[in-house]
Structure 1
Amino acid sequence: MLLATGGYEFPGIPKITDLYKKRQWQLEHMAGAFRVFARKGFTEGTSGHISVRDPVDPNTFWINPLGKHFGMLKASDMVHINEQGQVIGGNKVAINAAGFVIHSAIHRARPDVHAACHMHSVAGKAWSAFGKPVDIINQDSCLFYGTQAVYNDFGGVVIGEEEGQRLVEALGKTGRVIFLQNHGLLTTGGTVDEAAYLFTALERTCEVQLMVEAAGLEKKIISNEAAEFTARINADPETLYTEFQPDFEYEIWKSKGELSKGEL
């Protein structure tokens, strides 16, 4: 991570060896991500979900309960489910069926993906109608250089296992973000912080791209060399984790004790 200077290191992703403590740390950050998304206006009824792979049993994962506002979520609200979609721990309540299909397929196919975020955000929905990635036209869009995928086979609400599999095939082995045509955005990461920051950045990038398209002027695309260099500096897991911390810590401050960093 090259963000910091001045002779002092900025703390990055903590090294937590106790897997049960790591589980709690992840759940706290997951709850914080939901509150950030609520503040940024990504709520849309019962749509939208974040999943986090369980460090104790990596064949299972945690997801948000169905029908609870993102801005109210706490670590204790999260639901622990297995690969068959059965609730096995945590908050024993119903979950979003489409959310399970999408996230279970990703976690099974991509061992490197420990967290995934999908919201029905406004700019993401708007840009998804084009069925194409964003252009690399500013420094922030370089975060997505070489890692964008498109799933252009919208077949309605995702409730069938086969559609989840097709989505995973579109994401591929190295994709980090995917545009679900006529649907919205989905981002992934090694931590929920990384996936959540990529989502907020991609949503804003879609918003900027829509403004650029509306202007109708000639676009200047950043060169592959400059985009690759910028992505190498700004889009590594440690830097993306760090980029999310100001928003997360603001939610901790606002929560009056409901959220914590989870570092024990």
Structure 2
Amino acid sequence: MAPSAVTAETVSDAPTHLPQHIALAKSTAQQVSTSSGDPGLAFIHDETTAPPSFTDPYEERKYLKHRLTLAFRVFAKFGFSEGVAGHITARDPVEKDSFWVNPFGMHFALVRDEDLIRVDHEGKVVDGGRNRRLNYAAYAIHAEIHKARPDVLCAAHSHSMYGRAFCATGRTLDPLTQDACVFYNDHVLYSNFAGVVLASEEGRSIARELGNKKAALLGNHGILTAGQSIEATVASFVLLEKCCEVQLLADASSAGSGKPLVSIGQEEAQCTWEALGGPGGGYFMGLPLFQIAEQEFGEATFLGRGLEPL
């Protein structure tokens, strides 16, 4: 139930010793809680836990292009820009059968709004900066994801170090930590490595395997995330990379000590996903990353949302 649907009587019935916004969240939460507490209290759902909405699609395009530029700066800071591999796409709000992506051969740390290129679902570059080279793998993968998933605004893929290492194990993540539970029953293994993805059919296969999940481990390749906002997609990618690192470290520790790893129980893992794994949580968790990226452009906005300059 959204906060706007809560009656005054409901709010007044909330514990009076809690701050009003926390009491409201507690009153409106409908998820089943475990002994750790109510998942609905993890995030206070208001305008800061959802991307801004626009009435003018051209203003939205301008906004999203800059958010995409900031996303590349985040990837650069985490070292996800090895060689020429890697791409992040954002669906264009004006012509929705096209998406914006980085030009092939430009370092993530150098991408600016005017450098982005727009690609239609047939693989044609229809707009963009001086360098209009297209990484065909970006088209082959992302066009099929955007076609198959109307809910997906943004998708990201890069050859990150620990993602690549874990994708060679042929496994999905175990629920070993609270952070790993963000991906509990919300990521898949795509084990069919067929070489560099240069065919739309391979992209369709990846999209089919991804289904309605937010992340995929591409076997012998790397990780991929998709989301309803650029911020959630980026936050998921950064977190998934860290979870791959933790899984590899935990596996090595277990092999060295001979002691089995301790996994989180199914109920607890599901409850943790309900608290942290949704698109609102993903968006909000991405905002601190964008706060830092804004500094490269001499910008500062409230919570890094890209609106209301401070």
1:220 and 2:262 aligned: yes
The structure with the larger Rg is: 2
Please give the root-mean-square deviation of Cα atoms over the aligned residues, in Å: 2.0
Looking at structure 2, the residues matched to 218 and 139 of structure 1 have their Cα atoms a distance apart, in angstroms, of 18
Tell me the equivalent position of 2:53: 15
Measured after TM superposition, the shift of residue 263 of structure 1 is 3.6
Measured after TM superposition, the shift of residue 21 of structure 1 is 1.2
Measured after TM superposition, the shift of residue 15 of structure 1 is 2.1
Percentage of matched positions with identical amino acids? 36
Looking at structure 1, the residues matched to 239 and 77 of structure 2 have their Cα atoms a distance apart, in angstroms, of 14
Contact 1:26 1:262 in 2 (8 A): no
Query: Which deviations, in whole Å up to 9, do the C-alpha atoms of 1:57-97 show, x marking residues without a partner?
Result: 11111111001110111222111111111111132511101
Contact 1:136 1:142 in 2 (8 A): yes
1:155 and 2:160 aligned: no
Query: Which deviations, in whole Å up to 9, do the C-alpha atoms of 1:5-27 show, x marking residues without a partner?
Result: 7xx96723222222111111111
Looking at structure 2, the residues matched to 112 and 199 of structure 1 have their Cα atoms a distance apart, in angstroms, of 18
Looking at structure 2, the residues matched to 78 and 85 of structure 1 have their Cα atoms a distance apart, in angstroms, of 15
Distance 1:261 1:11, change over 3 A: closer
1:192 and 2:230 aligned: yes
Indicate the SS of the match to 1:11: helix
Distance 1:251 1:59, change over 3 A: same
Indicate the SS of the match to 1:108: helix
Looking at structure 2, the residues matched to 225 and 106 of structure 1 have their Cα atoms a distance apart, in angstroms, of 30
Looking at structure 2, the residues matched to 170 and 101 of structure 1 have their Cα atoms a distance apart, in angstroms, of 15
Tell me the equivalent position of 2:108: 70
Looking at structure 2, the residues matched to 46 and 79 of structure 1 have their Cα atoms a distance apart, in angstroms, of 16
Looking at structure 1, the residues matched to 267 and 47 of structure 2 have their Cα atoms a distance apart, in angstroms, of 28
Tell me the equivalent position of 1:142: 181
Indicate the SS of the match to 1:213: helix
Matches within 5 A, 1:171-186: 171-172=210-211, 174-186=212-224
Looking at structure 1, the residues matched to 102 and 57 of structure 2 have their Cα atoms a distance apart, in angstroms, of 20
After TM superposition, what 4+ stretches of structure 1 lie above 6 angstroms from structure 2?
none
Tell me the equivalent position of 2:137: 98
Contact 2:80 2:159 in 1 (8 A): yes
Contact 2:287 2:305 in 1 (8 A): no
Measured after TM superposition, the shift of residue 262 of structure 1 is 4.6
Query: Please, which runs of 5 or more residues in structure 2 have no aligned partner?
Result: 1-39
Q: Bigger relative contact order, structure 1 or 2, given CA contacts below 8 A and separation 6+?
A: 1
Distance 1:2 1:33, change over 3 A: farther
Contact 1:140 1:205 in 2 (8 A): yes
Tell me the equivalent position of 2:15: none
TM-score (norm 1): 0.93
Aligned length: 261
Measured after TM superposition, the shift of residue 150 of structure 1 is 1.1
TM-score (norm 2): 0.80
Looking at structure 2, the residues matched to 36 and 94 of structure 1 have their Cα atoms a distance apart, in angstroms, of 22
Query: Which deviations, in whole Å up to 9, do the C-alpha atoms of 1:177-230 show, x marking residues without a partner?
Result: 001000000000001111110000000000000000000231111111111111
Indicate the SS of the match to 1:76: helix
Looking at structure 2, the residues matched to 133 and 183 of structure 1 have their Cα atoms a distance apart, in angstroms, of 14
Distance 1:9 1:55, change over 3 A: closer
Matches within 5 A, 1:1-264: 2-3=41-42, 11-12=48-49, 13-91=51-129, 93-172=132-211, 174-216=212-254, 217-256=259-298, 262-263=306-307
Query: Which deviates more from structure 2 when the two are superposed, residues 46-55 or residues 88-97?
Result: 88-97
Contact 2:43 2:281 in 1 (8 A): no
